[in-house]
Amino acid sequence: MTLVVRYFAAGCMLLWAAALPAAAQQQFITVASTTSTEESGLFRHLLPAFTKQTGVEVRVVAVGTGQALKIGERGDCDVVFVHDKPAELAFVERGFGVDRREVMHNDFVLVGPTSDPARVDGGKDIVDALRKVANAKSRFVARGDDSGTSKAEIRLWNEAGIDPKAAGGGWYRDTGSGMGPTLNTAAAMDGYALSDRGTWLSFKNKQNLKIIVEGDRRLFNQYGVMLVNPAKHPHVKQDLGRRFIDWLTSPEGQRTIADYRINGQPLFFPDANASQL
Amino acid sequence: MHDLAAALTAAWQLVLSGDPTLVGIVSLSLSISLTAVLLASALGLPLGAALVVLRFPGRNAVIVIVNALMGLPPVVAGLFVYVLLSRSGPLGNLGLLFTPAAMVIAQTVLVTPIAAAIARQVVEDLWGEYGELYIFDGVGRIRTVCSLLWLGRFSLLTAVLAGVGRAVAEVGAILIVGGNIAGVTRTMTTAIALETSRGDLALALGLGIILLALILTVNATAHFAGSAARRAAA
């Protein structure tokens, strides 16, 4: 038995030693970002290029935009990279973030079952489409997690003059989950859902879902990056963080973003320079 | 059926490919959970035995609390550790949030009550049998605790294994305190959660099958090592 214990302990030590060196050697920053950037595969394409050039590892915690901003607020990351402009501006306004810069955009799409029970019948008008979904009381699967997509969806319902939560009838399902789980739920119950295009394109469990509405100007989805304010949180790695932000908005970073495609389709459109004009 | 077949194929291909990412994820899972179980055993087993041997006011309350904490939801344990380790929390200066160390701490919190509760049960039986001898011989409290734990070592293996099972299979706590960072804090369970989110159900299930196989291996090893040791001791 002592032998067993000894082997067990030795095994633990070995594994521990094997797992840790990667964490110990390298300079790194922690970035709080959104599920859309992680789940769409963008970071797996983008970050190695930055690390190769600078030797700085980027550790991404992928959560909803609301939660990512909260992580920044508590000082638990160095950089925040999210997509909810009003919330980002408020974050900077309240002194939690500095150096906010716009990086790229893509767009939201309304996805729904091929049978299209609400008879949205394509078109570009997202607000009109949401009204049709509400009128038909077709199932709509919502994020409901304070993420950028969730906030955009709520703004669109407001524009349509509908309060889906108050509407009753059980057609509006608030799942309180990330984009992927929401799409999984929508696929399982043949519901409509608002998704960012990146997650949608890389999502592998589409079943009967397809894009119902796209191309509306109101579906624009801007991503911004900012440094957590070192004046509030002195431990923030501001030099490394700034290097990451500078690189993302540099011609090279922008080109790397543009190069990321799935089946030939670009997922994100760099716009750092446009926003500075 | 199609999904299951795809999952089995995915699992098989993953194992065959010897993918370094997979190896990293598996070894991280194991090292975190085994370290946590080791720490939890060091804390929990003596605690459980002490609860039998020592008499003090509030002892029953402690026993009830330890038993209840066996059912502590991982999410709650994770949140608790998160608040402690956050830069804005009391231990923020350590900078441990979103590191493997934070995950070890969270899992230790989860496993310690299990080790303590099972140890208490095992030692209580032994105490009923041999307790009077210890008292008669005037053996000190600490030595009694050690001796009883040693006597119950084979049964205590169950406690440790239950702990390993809970730790390796747990996702709620480590997702919160680890952040599921690729290559740093991504374990089997958080990788499964991520692949499910990406809608890659086959890959997620495939990883699940590998996790199951691992847990089986750990249990089988402990079972046979235990019975071999028992035979040697008899």
Interval A159-179: pLDDT, tens: 999 999 888 889 999 999 889
| Domain residue extents for chain A | 27-106+222-276, 108-219
Point out the least confidently predicted range of A207-221, A260-274, B173-187: A260-274
The span from the CA of A108 to the CA of A98, in Å, is 27
The reply to whether B227 touches chain A by the CB within 8 Å rule is no
How much is the pLDDT for A16?
Answer: 56
Q: Shortest Cα distance from A277 to chain B (angstroms)?
A: 35
pLDDT of A5 above 60:
no
Instruction: Determine the average pLDDT of the residues in A76-102.
Output: 96
Please say if the pLDDT value at position A1 is more than 50. no
Out of A96-100, A270-274, B212-216, pick the least confident: A270-274
Residue-level pLDDT at B111:
96
Mean pLDDT score across all residues of chain A: 90
Question: Concatenated DSSP letters for A168-215?
Answer: -SS-EEE----HHHHHHHHHHHT-BEEEEHHHHHH-S--TTEEEEE--
Q: Is A56 on the interface with B (CB under 8 A)?
A: no
Quick one: pLDDT at residue A14? 54
pLDDT at residue A21 in the model:
47
Q: Of the ranges A22-36, A107-121, B116-130, B160-174, which one carries the lowest mean pLDDT score?
A: A22-36
- Look up the pTM and report it: 0.86
What local confidence, expressed as pLDDT, does residue A11 receive?
55
* Residue A6 binned pLDDT confidence (cut-offs 50, 70, 90): low
In a domain, B16, yes or no: no
Pairing of strands A193-196, A172-174: unpaired
Residue B80 lies in domain: 22-228
Q: Is B2 a domain residue?
A: no
Instruction: Decide if B5 is inside a domain.
Output: no
Region A180-197: mean pLDDT is 95
Nearest CA in chain A to B197: A180
**Spacing of C-alpha A106 from chain mean position:** 11
Look up the CATH number of the domain holding residue B63: 1.10.3720.10
Does the beta-carbon distance from A205 to B233 stay under 8 Å? no
pLDDT at position B138, please? Answer: 86
Give residue A191's identity as a one-letter amino acid code. Answer: G
The fold adopted by the segment(s) A27-106+222-276 is D-Maltodextrin-Binding Protein; domain 2 (3.40.190)
Name the β-bridge partners of A266: A261
B43 in a domain, yes or no? Answer: yes
Candidates B198, B200, B219, B230, partner chain A, best to mutate (most A CBs within 10 A): B198
Q: Does residue A80 register a pLDDT over 90?
A: yes
Name residue A200's beta-bridge partners. Answer: none
Question: For residue B12, is it within any domain?
Answer: no
Residue B50 placed within a domain: yes
Rounded alpha-carbon distances, angstroms, from residue A179 to A67, A135, A184, B181 = 14, 25, 9, 18
Evaluate whether A186 touches A145 at the Cβ level (below 8 Å): no
Number of domains forming the structure of chain B: 1
Residue of chain B whose alpha carbon sits nearest to that of A31: B181
Residues in chain B predicted with pLDDT less than 50, given as ranges, are: none
* Interchain contact, A19 vs B183, CB within 8 Å: no
Closest residue in chain A to residue B152, using alpha carbons only: A1
Q: What's the pLDDT tens digit per position in A237-260?
A: 999 999 999 999 999 999 999 999
Q: Which of A18-32, A89-103, A252-266, B50-64 has the lowest mean pLDDT?
A: A18-32
Q: Is the pLDDT of residue A276 over 50?
A: no
Residue B15 placed within a domain: no
For residue A277, the model assigns a pLDDT of 39
Pure H helices in A20-41: 21-25, 35-39
Residue B194 in domain: yes
pLDDT of residue B231: 85
Are A204 and B201 in contact (CB < 8 Å)? yes
Tell whether the model's pLDDT for residue A275 goes beyond 60: no
Assigned architecture for domain A108-219: 3-Layer(aba) Sandwich (3.40)
